[in-house]
Structures are given as C-alpha cells and as structure tokens.
Amino acid sequence: MASPLIFKRDPVTDPRVLAFLEEHLSDMRRISPPESVHALDPEQLRAPGMYLWTAWTAGQEPQALVATCALKTLDAGHLELKSMRVGAEQRGSGAAQQVLDHVLAQARAMRAARISLETGTEAFFAPARRFYARNGFAHCAPFGSYQPDPNSCFMRLELP
C-alpha cells in the first residue's frame, strides 16, 4: 500500500507538474490516433470550470510528485474525470486508489450527482478500465462533446 499522499489544488505552473503532464500527453499521443487523444494540456487545465489536484509524497523532503487528477464541470451535477495519471514508479502501489478516493470526495463536496470519464480501448488502457470498473464505474454512451469513437471507452459513476 502506498504511503499517505498530500493533495494540493494546483494552478498548473510548477515545472515538475508541467513535465509530468507533458509525459502524460506524450504517452497519449504515442498510443492513440490524433483524433482520439482527449488529454488536456496545461492551458486547458487552467480554464474556468477545471479543478486540478496534484498528489505528493508525505514525510520526505523534497516532496515527490506522484499523481495528477482533474475534474471538469460539464453541467450542474455532472463532472468529467480528466488527467488522472500516476507516475510509473508508483503504479500498483495503491496510489491510484488514494487519488480516486480524493477526487470523488471533492466531487461529492461539489454536490455532483455523477462523474463520467473517457479512456482508451487499446491494451495500454486495460488496467485503467479494470480499475474504474472495480470502483463502480459502468460503461455509458458518449457524453458532453464526445462522439462515438472505436478508440474511446466511456464510463460513468452515479454518486450517492
């Protein structure tokens, strides 16, 4: 199990966060066709209606960046999970569960009724799809501005 993480609401300006997000974008561009890459760049993550959190190691200096996760407001009560990424060295440690638990708590505090997400259908994304399914996300139709795409898997969680 991962050590407890420290979560910070992030303005997307720290060079470590920018490099982490660029690595995420690079992976998405390498794995998916251009028309199926829906990852957001730093400027998009700073837009109104976006909320980005970073997760950092606790109890060590300097703190190390472990993960990012964002929520995008779609409409009243409906949020989209974006930019959830755990660094390669932390995968399988339980850090992803801590990140998802944190962002779901934030969504509930924002009085969201549901959270939707888009992830890939390629083999690279299979662990993510299993992770979200284990956490109650179910397959759904495209939402927001998404269109049907054979490279996209759409999932939704209704919040109690």
Q: DSSP readout, 27-87?
A: HHHHHS-GGG--PPPHHHHTSTTEEEEEEEESSSSS--EEEEEEEEEEETTEEEEEEEEE-
Does residue 2 carry a pLDDT above 90? no
Tell me the pTM.
0.93
* pLDDT band of 119, cuts 50, 70, 90: very high
Convert the pLDDT of each residue in 14-59 to its tens digit: 999 999 999 999 989 999 999 999 999 999 999 999 999 999 998 7
Over residues 122-129, the mean pLDDT reads: 95
* pLDDT band of 3, cuts 50, 70, 90: confident
* pLDDT band of 160, cuts 50, 70, 90: confident
* pLDDT band of 149, cuts 50, 70, 90: very high
Does residue 80 carry a pLDDT above 90? yes
∠ CA 20-154-30, rounded to 5°: 40
Buried-state track 112-147, b at ≥16 Cβ within 10 A, e below 16: bebbbbbbbeeeebeebbebbeeeebeeeeebeeee
Tokens of 135: 């956490």
Does residue 60 carry a pLDDT above 60? yes
* Composition of the chain by helix, strand, coil, percent to 5: 35, 30, 35
Residue 136: what pLDDT?
Answer: 98
